[in-house]
Structure 1
Amino acid sequence: MSLRDPPYEPPSVAELQEFLLTDRKPTGHVNQVWPNLYIGNEVAARDKSTLHSLGITHIVNAAHGRTSQGFGYYVNTGPRFYRDMAVDYYGVEADDAVDFILSPFFYPTARYIRAALAMGGRVFVHCLMGVSRSATLVLAFLMIIEGLRLWEAVAAVRSHRDVCPNPGFLQQLRSLDMSLERERRRRQQAQNL
């Protein structure tokens, strides 16, 4: 990337949705989408034998909360549910709603995943369906920690799992992409001085 290159423009929400909704394939309950990083649904989250066989050491529940809240779109597991397993639990109370602001969880969750992977862990990120909330947090991790642009992150995850964050989450990922791109350009300008 040179400073004379035209400014990077992330894909629009419509372009992302078109890509995500084209040529969809059935997805299992859990899929490895990056080395030692898995996305899955509630069925996988409650299947301790599967989690054990995958060697999962850390669980991020992007639908943390009680089922009685809201419309019941939460997965009420938590540290007590996994007390008989050697796993570390991280809960994110998020609604899968277009107007829910998930972006405040991007950096803390990305740091949690990075720390788990750095210690040789295997991380399972899930929500109810393993399509929107969990996928959004994994995409943010790939952008923040692994340095992927939004389109690259979406393509990487999509090659292993059928995901489709809601349009509000896609817009928040776009904003993150633009912010990270501005930071890349600032760093490059500083290097060229």
Structure 2
Amino acid sequence: WPAGASRAGNSHVAPISDSEDHENLLRKGVTHILSVHNRAKPVLEDMTYLCISASDSSSQNLLQHFKECIQFIHECRLGGGGCLVHCLAGVSRSTTILVAYLMTVTELGWESCLAATKAVRSYVSPNSGFQQQLQEYERTLLREVRSPWIHSGGVFKQARHLCMQLS
């Protein structure tokens, strides 16, 4: 991946420009793209998309989309695919979604998962509202969302090992 991309197993956080580089996506095994920005829409015909319309504002509710996004990433990984999660800059919205996913499949808290992501992509930084939503997710909803997926397909062990190595 280019220097701007962050990788967690077969899930990648990157800016929008990486989501349009078809050859590189295919070379890296990306089969699914999760777009999280104001004008999110499918671009490449042979990719599977989940598009979430969201601004990079501390008042934007991303928490309401966590379960759908986590399921999308997890099903992609269980099927042997690779998932690119992107917003415009690959800093706040996409990072928030990837951290929520890592929390769900690793039994680690939001700060540990964010630290692991920062170890790969130093300038990732969910805005203050998204950080509060990650904290709320950890306090209230995580157990309920985590239980069906946590031990499926060895993804739990892979993701936890990766986070522990990076943090």
**How does the TM-score come out when normalised to structure 2?**
0.79
Secondary structure of the equivalent of 2:61? Answer: coil
- The separation in 1 between residues aligned to 2:55 and 2:4, in whole angstroms, is 20
- The separation in 2 between residues aligned to 1:176 and 1:64, in whole angstroms, is 23
- 1:40 corresponds to which of 6, 14, 20: 14
Q: Cα distance, 1:109 vs. partner?
A: 0.5
Does the CA contact (< 8 Å) of 2:38 and 2:55 recur in 1?
Answer: no
CA displacement, residues 8-45 of structure 1 (integer Å, 9 cap, x when unaligned): xxxxxxxxxxxxxxxxxxx833231x111100001111
The aligned counterpart of 1:93 is 53
- Matched to 1:52, the amino acid is L
The answer to whether the aligner puts 1:152 opposite 2:112 as a matched pair is yes
The aligned counterpart of 1:54 is 28
For residues 88-167 of structure 1, what are the structure 2 equivalents within 5 Å? 88-161=48-121, 162-167=123-128
**How does the TM-score come out when normalised to structure 1?**
0.69
Q: Cα RMSD between the aligned structures?
A: 2.0
Spell out structure 1 runs of 4+ moving beyond 3 A. Answer: none
Larger Rg: 1
Secondary structure of the equivalent of 2:13? Answer: strand
Q: Cα distance, 1:146 vs. partner?
A: 2.6
The answer to whether the aligner puts 1:173 opposite 2:134 as a matched pair is yes
Does the CA contact (< 8 Å) of 1:136 and 1:169 recur in 2?
Answer: yes
Secondary structure of the equivalent of 1:57? Answer: strand
Counting helix residues as a fraction of each chain, which structure ranks higher? 2
- Matched to 1:166, the amino acid is N
- The separation in 1 between residues aligned to 2:111 and 2:4, in whole angstroms, is 24
Does the CA contact (< 8 Å) of 1:64 and 1:91 recur in 2?
Answer: no
CA displacement, residues 75-101 of structure 1 (integer Å, 9 cap, x when unaligned): x541xx211x3x211101111001111
Secondary structure of the equivalent of 1:174? Answer: helix
- Matched to 2:3, the amino acid is G
- The separation in 1 between residues aligned to 2:89 and 2:103, in whole angstroms, is 22
Q: How many residues align?
A: 143
- The separation in 1 between residues aligned to 2:97 and 2:6, in whole angstroms, is 15
Consecutive unaligned residues of structure 1, counting only runs of 5 or more, are 1-26, 66-75, 188-193
